Amino acid sequence: MSEFKININLTKNSNINSVDFENIKFGRVNTDHMFICHFKDGKWQDGEIKPFQNISLSPATSALHYGQSIFEGMRCQKSTDGEDILLFRPEENFKRLNLSAKRMCMPEIPEQVFNRGLETLIAIDHEWIPTTQGSGLYIRPFYFASDNFLGVKESEDYIFIIYCCPVNAYYSNPLSVWVEQRYSRATKQGGVGYAKCAGNYAASMYPAKLAKEKGYDQVMWTDSEKHELIEETGTTNIFAQIGGIIVTPSLSDSILPGITRESIITFLKSKNYVVEERELDIHELVEASINGMLKEMWVSGTAATVVNIKRFHFNYKDYEVPMPENGLKDEILQALVGIKRGEIEDSFGWMKKVKPKTSANLA
Protein backbone atom coordinates (compact mmCIF):
# COMPACT_ATOMS: atom_id res chain seq x y z
CA MET A 1 0.00 0.00 0.00
CA SER A 2 1.03 3.66 -0.40
CA GLU A 3 2.23 5.68 2.59
CA PHE A 4 -0.19 5.11 5.42
CA LYS A 5 -1.45 8.17 7.29
CA ILE A 6 -3.23 8.54 10.61
CA ASN A 7 -5.47 11.49 11.32
CA ILE A 8 -5.43 12.34 15.05
CA ASN A 9 -8.54 13.76 16.67
CA LEU A 10 -8.11 13.99 20.44
CA THR A 11 -10.89 14.09 23.01
CA LYS A 12 -11.61 17.38 24.71
CA ASN A 13 -12.82 15.71 27.91
CA SER A 14 -10.74 12.88 29.36
CA ASN A 15 -12.43 10.37 31.68
CA ILE A 16 -9.24 9.32 33.44
CA ASN A 17 -9.90 11.24 36.65
CA SER A 18 -13.21 9.43 37.19
CA VAL A 19 -11.59 5.97 37.29
CA ASP A 20 -10.70 4.11 40.48
CA PHE A 21 -7.66 2.21 39.22
CA GLU A 22 -7.52 0.06 42.35
CA ASN A 23 -10.96 -1.42 41.68
CA ILE A 24 -11.31 -1.97 37.95
CA LYS A 25 -13.49 -4.79 36.66
CA PHE A 26 -11.81 -6.50 33.72
CA GLY A 27 -13.02 -5.06 30.41
CA ARG A 28 -15.41 -2.52 31.94
CA VAL A 29 -13.32 0.65 31.62
CA ASN A 30 -12.02 2.02 28.31
CA THR A 31 -9.35 4.62 27.61
CA ASP A 32 -10.08 7.96 25.97
CA HIS A 33 -9.33 7.00 22.36
CA MET A 34 -9.54 4.28 19.75
CA PHE A 35 -7.93 3.63 16.38
CA ILE A 36 -10.13 2.88 13.37
CA CYS A 37 -9.33 1.96 9.78
CA HIS A 38 -11.60 0.88 6.91
CA PHE A 39 -11.03 -1.62 4.12
CA LYS A 40 -12.89 -0.36 1.08
CA ASP A 41 -12.61 -0.58 -2.70
CA GLY A 42 -10.10 -3.39 -2.34
CA LYS A 43 -7.61 -1.59 -0.12
CA TRP A 44 -6.99 -0.30 3.38
CA GLN A 45 -7.73 3.40 3.77
CA ASP A 46 -5.90 5.89 5.99
CA GLY A 47 -6.58 5.48 9.70
CA GLU A 48 -7.84 7.72 12.48
CA ILE A 49 -7.30 8.12 16.20
CA LYS A 50 -10.57 9.43 17.62
CA PRO A 51 -12.38 9.65 20.97
CA PHE A 52 -13.71 6.27 22.13
CA GLN A 53 -17.31 6.14 20.93
CA ASN A 54 -20.08 3.95 19.59
CA ILE A 55 -20.10 3.00 15.93
CA SER A 56 -23.17 3.05 13.69
CA LEU A 57 -24.01 -0.13 11.76
CA SER A 58 -26.77 -1.23 9.45
CA PRO A 59 -28.98 -4.13 10.60
CA ALA A 60 -27.76 -5.82 7.40
CA THR A 61 -24.09 -5.64 8.43
CA SER A 62 -22.54 -8.86 7.18
CA ALA A 63 -20.62 -9.80 10.37
CA LEU A 64 -23.83 -9.81 12.41
CA HIS A 65 -25.29 -12.54 10.20
CA TYR A 66 -22.39 -14.60 8.88
CA GLY A 67 -19.71 -14.22 11.52
CA GLN A 68 -16.67 -12.80 9.74
CA SER A 69 -15.18 -11.30 12.91
CA ILE A 70 -11.74 -11.87 14.44
CA PHE A 71 -9.71 -10.30 17.23
CA GLU A 72 -6.50 -10.33 19.25
CA GLY A 73 -5.63 -9.75 22.90
CA MET A 74 -2.48 -7.93 23.98
CA ARG A 75 -1.02 -6.23 27.04
CA CYS A 76 1.44 -3.43 27.67
CA GLN A 77 3.11 -2.06 30.79
CA LYS A 78 5.09 1.00 31.78
CA SER A 79 8.82 0.55 32.36
CA THR A 80 9.92 0.94 35.98
CA ASP A 81 11.35 4.40 35.24
CA GLY A 82 8.16 5.43 33.42
CA GLU A 83 10.10 6.42 30.32
CA ASP A 84 8.80 3.72 27.98
CA ILE A 85 5.70 1.70 27.17
CA LEU A 86 6.61 -1.98 26.96
CA LEU A 87 4.70 -4.18 24.50
CA PHE A 88 4.97 -7.95 24.85
CA ARG A 89 5.68 -9.68 21.52
CA PRO A 90 3.33 -7.59 19.33
CA GLU A 91 4.74 -9.12 16.15
CA GLU A 92 3.26 -12.47 17.22
CA ASN A 93 -0.20 -10.96 17.62
CA PHE A 94 0.13 -9.42 14.17
CA LYS A 95 1.02 -12.80 12.65
CA ARG A 96 -1.81 -14.58 14.46
CA LEU A 97 -4.38 -11.96 13.45
CA ASN A 98 -3.51 -12.52 9.82
CA LEU A 99 -3.56 -16.29 10.31
CA SER A 100 -7.13 -15.90 11.58
CA ALA A 101 -7.96 -13.54 8.71
CA LYS A 102 -6.86 -16.07 6.10
CA ARG A 103 -9.00 -18.83 7.62
CA MET A 104 -12.04 -16.53 7.84
CA CYS A 105 -11.61 -15.32 4.25
CA MET A 106 -10.79 -11.75 5.27
CA PRO A 107 -8.13 -9.41 3.83
CA GLU A 108 -4.87 -9.41 5.74
CA ILE A 109 -3.91 -6.36 7.79
CA PRO A 110 -0.77 -4.62 6.46
CA GLU A 111 2.03 -4.44 9.02
CA GLN A 112 2.18 -0.66 8.97
CA VAL A 113 -1.57 -0.34 9.62
CA PHE A 114 -1.37 -2.69 12.61
CA ASN A 115 1.88 -1.36 14.09
CA ARG A 116 1.34 2.34 13.58
CA GLY A 117 -2.28 2.23 14.72
CA LEU A 118 -1.31 0.25 17.83
CA GLU A 119 1.74 2.29 18.78
CA THR A 120 0.10 5.66 18.16
CA LEU A 121 -2.93 4.74 20.25
CA ILE A 122 -1.03 3.49 23.31
CA ALA A 123 1.45 6.36 23.07
CA ILE A 124 -1.43 8.85 23.26
CA ASP A 125 -3.31 7.01 26.04
CA HIS A 126 -0.17 6.09 28.02
CA GLU A 127 -1.42 7.75 31.22
CA TRP A 128 -4.11 5.05 31.40
CA ILE A 129 -1.54 2.28 31.95
CA PRO A 130 -1.89 1.16 35.61
CA THR A 131 1.25 0.23 37.51
CA THR A 132 0.05 -1.85 40.48
CA GLN A 133 1.01 -5.54 40.77
CA GLY A 134 -0.92 -7.70 38.29
CA SER A 135 -2.30 -4.72 36.37
CA GLY A 136 -1.65 -3.50 32.84
CA LEU A 137 -3.27 -2.03 29.76
CA TYR A 138 -5.24 -4.66 27.86
CA ILE A 139 -5.33 -3.99 24.11
CA ARG A 140 -8.07 -5.31 21.84
CA PRO A 141 -7.43 -5.18 18.06
CA PHE A 142 -10.36 -6.59 16.07
CA TYR A 143 -12.04 -6.34 12.71
CA PHE A 144 -15.20 -7.51 11.06
CA ALA A 145 -17.15 -7.65 7.82
CA SER A 146 -19.11 -4.43 7.30
CA ASP A 147 -20.95 -4.96 3.99
CA ASN A 148 -24.55 -3.74 4.06
CA PHE A 149 -25.75 -6.84 2.23
CA LEU A 150 -27.54 -10.10 3.04
CA GLY A 151 -25.81 -12.92 1.20
CA VAL A 152 -23.60 -15.82 2.20
CA LYS A 153 -20.30 -14.67 0.77
CA GLU A 154 -17.17 -12.95 1.97
CA SER A 155 -17.58 -9.26 2.59
CA GLU A 156 -16.04 -6.58 0.40
CA ASP A 157 -15.76 -4.01 3.21
CA TYR A 158 -14.24 -4.34 6.70
CA ILE A 159 -13.68 -2.18 9.78
CA PHE A 160 -10.52 -2.56 11.88
CA ILE A 161 -10.52 -1.08 15.40
CA ILE A 162 -8.08 -1.06 18.29
CA TYR A 163 -9.17 0.04 21.76
CA CYS A 164 -7.72 -0.38 25.24
CA CYS A 165 -8.82 -1.15 28.80
CA PRO A 166 -6.83 -0.65 32.02
CA VAL A 167 -7.14 -3.95 33.89
CA ASN A 168 -6.18 -5.76 37.05
CA ALA A 169 -5.71 -9.54 37.26
CA TYR A 170 -8.22 -11.60 35.22
CA TYR A 171 -8.25 -14.46 37.73
CA SER A 172 -7.65 -13.68 41.39
CA ASN A 173 -7.67 -17.29 42.61
CA PRO A 174 -6.60 -20.78 41.44
CA LEU A 175 -9.14 -22.55 39.24
CA SER A 176 -11.34 -25.58 39.62
CA VAL A 177 -12.27 -27.02 36.22
CA TRP A 178 -14.88 -29.36 34.79
CA VAL A 179 -13.59 -31.86 32.21
CA GLU A 180 -16.08 -31.53 29.36
CA GLN A 181 -17.28 -34.83 27.87
CA ARG A 182 -20.27 -33.73 25.83
CA TYR A 183 -19.71 -30.35 24.24
CA SER A 184 -16.75 -29.40 22.06
CA ARG A 185 -14.93 -26.14 21.61
CA ALA A 186 -13.64 -26.99 18.13
CA THR A 187 -13.00 -29.84 15.70
CA LYS A 188 -9.77 -31.16 14.24
CA GLN A 189 -8.85 -31.45 10.55
CA GLY A 190 -10.09 -28.30 8.90
CA GLY A 191 -11.88 -26.56 11.76
CA VAL A 192 -11.38 -23.00 13.03
CA GLY A 193 -10.24 -23.72 16.59
CA TYR A 194 -6.80 -22.23 15.94
CA ALA A 195 -8.30 -18.91 14.79
CA LYS A 196 -9.35 -16.13 17.17
CA CYS A 197 -12.77 -15.78 15.60
CA ALA A 198 -15.81 -14.61 17.52
CA GLY A 199 -17.84 -17.76 16.87
CA ASN A 200 -15.40 -19.95 18.80
CA TYR A 201 -16.07 -17.97 21.95
CA ALA A 202 -19.84 -17.86 21.46
CA ALA A 203 -19.90 -21.67 21.19
CA SER A 204 -17.97 -22.05 24.45
CA MET A 205 -20.31 -19.98 26.62
CA TYR A 206 -23.08 -22.50 27.26
CA PRO A 207 -20.79 -25.33 28.46
CA ALA A 208 -18.89 -22.80 30.61
CA LYS A 209 -22.19 -21.64 32.12
CA LEU A 210 -23.14 -25.22 32.97
CA ALA A 211 -19.74 -25.81 34.59
CA LYS A 212 -20.15 -22.70 36.75
CA GLU A 213 -23.61 -23.83 37.82
CA LYS A 214 -21.95 -27.02 39.10
CA GLY A 215 -19.46 -24.98 41.13
CA TYR A 216 -16.47 -24.91 38.75
CA ASP A 217 -14.64 -21.90 37.38
CA GLN A 218 -14.02 -23.13 33.87
CA VAL A 219 -14.27 -25.98 31.37
CA MET A 220 -11.36 -28.23 30.44
CA TRP A 221 -12.00 -28.92 26.77
CA THR A 222 -11.37 -32.36 25.29
CA ASP A 223 -11.27 -33.57 21.68
CA SER A 224 -14.54 -33.64 19.76
CA GLU A 225 -14.34 -37.32 18.78
CA LYS A 226 -13.76 -39.35 21.96
CA HIS A 227 -13.57 -36.58 24.58
CA GLU A 228 -10.37 -38.03 25.99
CA LEU A 229 -7.56 -35.78 24.72
CA ILE A 230 -7.14 -32.53 26.65
CA GLU A 231 -7.01 -29.43 24.47
CA GLU A 232 -7.53 -26.15 26.36
CA THR A 233 -9.09 -24.84 29.57
CA GLY A 234 -11.66 -22.08 29.14
CA THR A 235 -9.95 -19.54 26.91
CA THR A 236 -6.43 -20.55 27.95
CA ASN A 237 -3.75 -23.10 27.12
CA ILE A 238 -2.92 -25.74 29.71
CA PHE A 239 0.23 -27.25 31.23
CA ALA A 240 0.73 -30.21 33.58
CA GLN A 241 3.89 -31.15 35.43
CA ILE A 242 3.93 -34.95 35.53
CA GLY A 243 6.92 -36.26 37.40
CA GLY A 244 9.84 -34.17 36.20
CA ILE A 245 8.31 -33.41 32.80
CA ILE A 246 6.10 -30.48 31.77
CA VAL A 247 3.43 -31.55 29.28
CA THR A 248 1.24 -29.31 27.14
CA PRO A 249 -1.08 -30.46 24.31
CA SER A 250 0.54 -30.16 20.91
CA LEU A 251 -0.99 -27.59 18.58
CA SER A 252 -3.62 -28.58 16.04
CA ASP A 253 -6.56 -27.11 14.13
CA SER A 254 -8.55 -27.22 17.37
CA ILE A 255 -6.08 -25.47 19.70
CA LEU A 256 -5.27 -21.76 19.76
CA PRO A 257 -1.52 -21.11 19.36
CA GLY A 258 -1.12 -19.05 22.52
CA ILE A 259 1.68 -16.49 22.58
CA THR A 260 2.02 -16.84 26.36
CA ARG A 261 2.07 -20.62 25.86
CA GLU A 262 4.98 -20.42 23.43
CA SER A 263 6.79 -17.96 25.70
CA ILE A 264 6.47 -20.32 28.66
CA ILE A 265 7.87 -23.22 26.63
CA THR A 266 10.82 -21.08 25.54
CA PHE A 267 11.48 -19.92 29.10
CA LEU A 268 11.28 -23.43 30.57
CA LYS A 269 13.64 -24.87 27.97
CA SER A 270 16.10 -22.06 28.67
CA LYS A 271 16.13 -23.26 32.29
CA ASN A 272 16.75 -26.86 31.14
CA TYR A 273 13.31 -28.14 32.08
CA VAL A 274 12.02 -31.02 29.95
CA VAL A 275 8.94 -29.88 28.00
CA GLU A 276 6.85 -32.21 25.87
CA GLU A 277 4.31 -30.92 23.34
CA ARG A 278 2.18 -33.99 22.74
CA GLU A 279 -1.24 -35.56 23.22
CA LEU A 280 -2.35 -35.48 26.84
CA ASP A 281 -5.06 -38.04 27.64
CA ILE A 282 -7.41 -37.34 30.54
CA HIS A 283 -6.85 -40.91 31.77
CA GLU A 284 -3.11 -40.24 31.96
CA LEU A 285 -3.85 -37.14 34.02
CA VAL A 286 -6.14 -39.05 36.38
CA GLU A 287 -3.56 -41.82 36.83
CA ALA A 288 -0.84 -39.26 37.51
CA SER A 289 -3.05 -37.66 40.14
CA ILE A 290 -3.79 -40.99 41.84
CA ASN A 291 -0.17 -42.16 41.96
CA GLY A 292 1.22 -38.80 43.08
CA MET A 293 3.05 -38.03 39.84
CA LEU A 294 0.92 -34.95 39.07
CA LYS A 295 2.97 -32.18 40.69
CA GLU A 296 1.28 -29.02 39.40
CA MET A 297 -1.06 -27.67 36.70
CA TRP A 298 -1.57 -24.19 35.34
CA VAL A 299 -3.22 -22.29 32.49
CA SER A 300 -1.77 -19.48 30.42
CA GLY A 301 -3.08 -16.64 28.29
CA THR A 302 -2.79 -12.91 27.64
CA ALA A 303 -5.54 -11.96 30.08
CA ALA A 304 -4.84 -14.70 32.64
CA THR A 305 -1.02 -14.69 32.33
CA VAL A 306 -0.38 -17.83 34.46
CA VAL A 307 -2.85 -19.30 36.99
CA ASN A 308 -2.84 -22.60 38.90
CA ILE A 309 -5.49 -25.29 38.54
CA LYS A 310 -6.34 -26.55 42.02
CA ARG A 311 -8.72 -29.38 41.06
CA PHE A 312 -10.42 -31.00 38.09
CA HIS A 313 -13.61 -33.05 37.83
CA PHE A 314 -13.85 -36.16 35.68
CA ASN A 315 -16.38 -39.01 35.73
CA TYR A 316 -18.20 -37.95 38.91
CA LYS A 317 -15.03 -37.39 40.90
CA ASP A 318 -12.86 -34.43 41.89
CA TYR A 319 -9.09 -34.71 41.72
CA GLU A 320 -7.07 -32.27 43.80
CA VAL A 321 -3.95 -30.81 42.21
CA PRO A 322 -0.90 -29.78 44.30
CA MET A 323 -0.09 -26.07 44.38
CA PRO A 324 3.43 -25.98 45.86
CA GLU A 325 4.61 -22.76 47.45
CA ASN A 326 7.21 -21.21 45.15
CA GLY A 327 6.32 -23.84 42.55
CA LEU A 328 6.99 -23.83 38.83
CA LYS A 329 3.95 -21.68 38.07
CA ASP A 330 5.33 -19.03 40.44
CA GLU A 331 8.74 -19.16 38.78
CA ILE A 332 7.16 -18.68 35.36
CA LEU A 333 4.88 -15.87 36.52
CA GLN A 334 7.70 -13.96 38.21
CA ALA A 335 9.85 -14.25 35.08
CA LEU A 336 7.12 -13.14 32.66
CA VAL A 337 5.96 -10.24 34.82
CA GLY A 338 9.56 -9.16 35.43
CA ILE A 339 10.36 -9.16 31.72
CA LYS A 340 7.14 -7.35 30.82
CA ARG A 341 7.83 -4.61 33.37
CA GLY A 342 11.48 -4.25 32.43
CA GLU A 343 12.61 -5.46 35.86
CA ILE A 344 14.37 -8.55 34.46
CA GLU A 345 16.69 -8.63 31.47
CA ASP A 346 14.83 -9.53 28.28
CA SER A 347 17.25 -12.15 27.00
CA PHE A 348 14.65 -13.44 24.52
CA GLY A 349 14.11 -10.15 22.68
CA TRP A 350 10.38 -10.17 23.41
CA MET A 351 9.75 -6.58 24.43
CA LYS A 352 9.12 -3.64 22.13
CA LYS A 353 9.53 -0.12 23.50
CA VAL A 354 7.19 2.71 22.54
CA LYS A 355 7.72 6.31 23.62
CA PRO A 356 4.72 8.07 25.20
CA LYS A 357 3.32 10.98 23.22
CA THR A 358 2.56 14.39 24.63
CA SER A 359 1.17 17.49 22.97
CA ALA A 360 4.76 18.47 22.25
CA ASN A 361 5.64 15.31 20.27
CA LEU A 362 2.26 14.35 18.86
CA ALA A 363 3.21 14.99 15.26
Residues 213 and 146 in one domain: no
Q: What is the pLDDT of residues 178-193, one digit of tens each?
A: 999 999 999 988 999 9
Of 171, 204, 233, the residue that ends a domain is 171
Q: What is the pLDDT of residues 141-169, one digit of tens each?
A: 999 999 999 999 999 999 999 999 999 88
Residue 359: predicted pLDDT: 58
Residues 235 and 299 in one domain: yes
Report the CATH number at residue 286.
Answer: 3.20.10.10
Residues 105 and 198 in one domain: no
Q: What is the pLDDT of residues 20-59, one digit of tens each?
A: 998 888 899 999 999 999 999 999 999 999 999 999 999 9
Is 348 part of a structural domain of the chain?
A: no
Q: In the predicted model, is pLDDT for residue 363 greater than 60? A: no
- The band of 131, judged by pLDDT with boundaries at 50, 70 and 90, is confident
- The band of 219, judged by pLDDT with boundaries at 50, 70 and 90, is very high
Q: Which domain holds residue 201?
A: 175-322
Q: Which of 115, 116, 79, 124 has the alpha carbon at shortest distance from 97?
A: 115
Residues 101 and 74 in one domain: yes
Is 138 part of a structural domain of the chain?
A: yes
- The band of 360, judged by pLDDT with boundaries at 50, 70 and 90, is low
Is 233 part of a structural domain of the chain?
A: yes
Residues 46 and 83 in one domain: yes
Residues 115 and 63 in one domain: yes
Q: Note whether 65 and 157 are within 8 A (CB).
A: no
Residue 304: predicted pLDDT: 84
Residues 267 and 317 in one domain: yes
Provide the mean pLDDT of the chain: 95
Is 341 part of a structural domain of the chain?
A: no
Residues 12 and 147 in one domain: yes
Residues 298 and 224 in one domain: yes
Is 360 part of a structural domain of the chain?
A: no
Of 171, 205, 240, the residue that ends a domain is 171
Of 145, 171, 197, the residue that ends a domain is 171
Is 16 part of a structural domain of the chain?
A: yes
How many domains is the chain partitioned into structurally?
2
Residues 62 and 166 in one domain: yes
Residues 237 and 294 in one domain: yes
Report the CATH number at residue 129.
Answer: 3.30.470.10
Residues 167 and 180 in one domain: no
Q: What is the pLDDT of residues 89-128, one digit of tens each?
A: 999 999 999 999 999 999 999 999 999 999 999 999 999 9
